[in-house]
Amino acid sequence: MTTLSQLEGRLLYKFVNSSLLEEALTHSSYTNEQKDISIKSDYERLEFLGDAVLELIITDILLDKYPTKTEGDLSKARSSIVREEILVKISKKIEVGSFVKLGKGEKRAGGGQRDSILACALEAIIGAIYKDRGYQYAYNFVNYFWSDYMEKVFTDELDVDYKTRLQELVQAKYKEVPEYELLKTAGPAHNRTFKVRVRVADGLDSIGIGTSKKEAEQVAAHKAFKSLITREEAVL
């Protein structure tokens, strides 16, 4: 049986006000099913706060860590670090999904492993830490769990948002946008796989498979992006 103290151990943070952590882990589907009128707060307000706090902290760290980078470089770096895919990876590392309170239907549908819920709950936790003990503690949390991504943000090692890079390349070269098509969904709700095709101008298409639709799209976009780059290099 999971407990809040177990999660605090994973977060490397002990809450003064544990009700903030409880709120950060409560999905709206859970509150909607409760008859107890005292249980009325889900994580959406803390998520709203956490989203802003995360962006501020990432900006703060990037400015200190990369003093010679331009505003444009830093803006792109920040976008690549605060996107949902990174939030989901960190959330899974901490196993946040095991602690989120869900309604019965959402739980049966595997909501505890849904990317959007994992990302939102992690942002809510950041908001909760900020409310609990202020900016420095939230900064320490983000600085620790995002440290690997900070080191790789200006290298090819960081997980690149290939959907964005593919779209920019295709728009510049063909004045069109890539088209994504979900080909297949397989497996039970808690362990699904998705197969996606992306069609690009000039007869190019690529297939991607992942544990979420977004992941499959990224895989497909990565393959298509590399194929386009290879074609351009062959022409030169």
Catalytic residue list: 51, 123
At position 77, the amino acid (one-letter code) is: A
Q: Which structure tokens are listed for 220?
A: 């497909």
The residue length of the chain stands at 236
Q: How far is 236 from 228, CA to CA, in rounded Å? A: 13
Using DSSP bridges, classify how beta strands 193-200 and 204-210 pair: parallel, antiparallel or unpaired: antiparallel
Residue pair 32/40 in contact (Cβ under 8 Å)? The answer is no
Q: How far is 131 from 39, CA to CA, in rounded Å? A: 19
Q: How far is 97 from 118, CA to CA, in rounded Å? A: 6
- Helix, strand, coil shares, percent, the chain, to 5: 65, 10, 25
